[in-house]
Every structure is written in structure tokens, then in C-alpha cells.
């Protein structure tokens, strides 16, 4: 889906179950309209990086949209996780969309004491306490945490306004780092080009070919 109007009647997107799967399920269940206008993509031409003391993110040239991510948390329930995915052909639906946001139980207590996360619960986030997963049913994937960070990054990259053909690499990166990475990309002459997608290029874009049956088979 590369052309949609999204309307929200509140201050933020509803958290639902903490993942993207309720949105994906509804979008795939409804018929989509094929438009006559060509799809435009952003092709990465040279390495771009944004770095802080907490982490970094990088965009490098690649023939296919690809994402790699590494996280490192002290909590044993999360620990060190790494994952790399070719984002072509609906892999977002199969691999990432059902992975929930996560936090430590002590962070929940702190946020609530400050009047935040008032709608948060064990039903819409993976809450961990050391080596324990407190959320009912446990994890959906052994590496659900890094998958959710990749889900976050994919959403952040969508703010570029077009699919990105390149390799995103994140190391302990969050929303702010990925957003700043896009700012660096657009401020760096010669770092990218906008391309009108041929049929061959369309076939490698994220989401192309995804269907409800594929989601159900993976869930």
C-alpha cells in the first residue's frame, strides 16, 4: 500500500495490542485499489550515518530493501538480539507486524507515577522483570524485542514519503536516531535518487504480494 489517507481522532495512534497486526489484518481484509500513477521509490546511493552515545543507524546502498538491527539490554528476558531481513515481498507481514512494544516493569511504575502510560497494561506490551516475562502468554517470538525495534524503524523510514531501496542498519537505535538519519539523508547531496519504479522494481518493495492468507499462515 503506497497511497493512503490516514485519519486519527486522538492525540496518538491507538496502541491496540502493542503491535501492528490489528492494522495489517484490517488493511489486508479490505480490497485495495490499483492506481494508474507510478510508484516512486528512494534509492540509496552512498553510506549515510547518524550516531549518538546511545546508538547509531546507517543507510547503505543495496539492490533490495533490507533491514538489520542489534539490541543489547541488561534484562535477561531480552538480552542481546540481532536480526537481518530482506524486506521484499511481504516479509513485514510474516516477520515483524505481530511483534509488540516492550518495557521493564520498573519503567511502567515510573511512567505511571508521572501520569504517563495510563492506558498501558500487560495486554498491550511485553513487560519484563529481569529474566521474567510478565505478560500473559509470554513471547510471540523468542526475539520479539528486536523484531519490534525493526517494526519501529520501518515505520520511521516511512516518514521519508516513499519506499526506500537500501539497507538500514540499526544498533541500539530508537525513533529519534532513525528520524535524524533521514534528516541527514535528505541534507546530503548525492546520497540518494528518486526513481519511478518499473515492474521489476515494484516486485521487491515491502508489502508487494502480501495477502491475508499469508498473514494467517504465519500467525
Residue 45's Cα: distance from chain center in Å? Answer: 22
Rounded to an integer, what distance in angstroms lies between the CA atom of residue 200 and that of residue 219? 29
Rounded to an integer, what distance in angstroms lies between the CA atom of residue 69 and that of residue 168? 8
Alpha-carbon separation of residue 35 from 39, 199, 216 (angstroms): 9, 14, 27
Q: How does strand 40-44 pair with strand 164-165? A: parallel
Rounded to an integer, what distance in angstroms lies between the CA atom of residue 96 and that of residue 152? 10
Q: Which residues share a beta bridge with 70?
A: 82, 171
- Which one-letter DSSP state was computed for residue 212? H
Q: Is 2 a catalytic residue?
A: no
In the set 2, 141, 171, 175, the catalytic residue is 175
Task: State the catalytic residues.
Answer: 175
Amino acid at each position: 500500500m503506497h497511497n493512503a489517507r490516514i485519519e486519527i481522532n486522538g492525540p496518538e495512534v491507538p496502541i491496540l495490542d502493542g503491535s501492528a497486526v490489528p492494522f495489517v489484518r484490517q488493511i489486508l481484509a479490505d480490497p485495495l485499489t490499483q492506481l494508474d500513477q507510478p510508484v516512486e521509490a528512494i534509492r540509496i546511493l552512498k553510506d549515510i550515518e547518524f550516531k549518538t552515545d546511545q546508538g547509531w543507524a546507517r543507510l547503505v546502498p543495496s539492490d533490495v530493501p533490507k533491514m538489520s538491527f542489534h539490541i543489547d539490554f541488561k534484562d535477561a528476558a531480552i538480552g542481546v538480539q540481532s536480526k537481518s531481513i530482506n524486506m521484499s515481498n511481504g516479509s513485514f507481514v510474516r516477520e515483524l507486524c505481530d511483534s509488540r512494544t516492550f518495557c521493564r516493569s520498573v519503567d511502567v511504575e515510573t511512567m505511571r507515577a508521572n501520569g504517563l502510560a495510563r492506558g498501558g497494561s500487560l495486554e498491550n506490551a511485553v513487560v519484563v522483570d529481569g529474566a521474567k516475562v510478565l505478560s500473559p502468554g509470554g513471547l510471540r517470538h523468542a526475539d520479539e524485542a528486536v523484531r519490534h525495534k525493526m517494526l519501529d524503524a520501518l515505520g520511521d523510514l516511512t516518514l521519508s514519503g516513499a519506499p526506500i531501496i537500501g539497507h538500514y542498519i540499526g544498533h541500539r537505535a530508537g525513533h529519534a536516531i532513525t528520524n535524524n538519519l533521514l534528516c541527514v539523508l535528505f541534507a546530503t547531496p548525492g546520497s540518494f535518487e528518486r526513481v519511478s519504479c518499473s515492474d521489476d522494481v515494484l516486485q521487491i518493495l515491502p508489502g508487494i504480494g502480501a495477502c491475508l492468507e499469508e498473514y494467517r499462515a504465519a500467525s
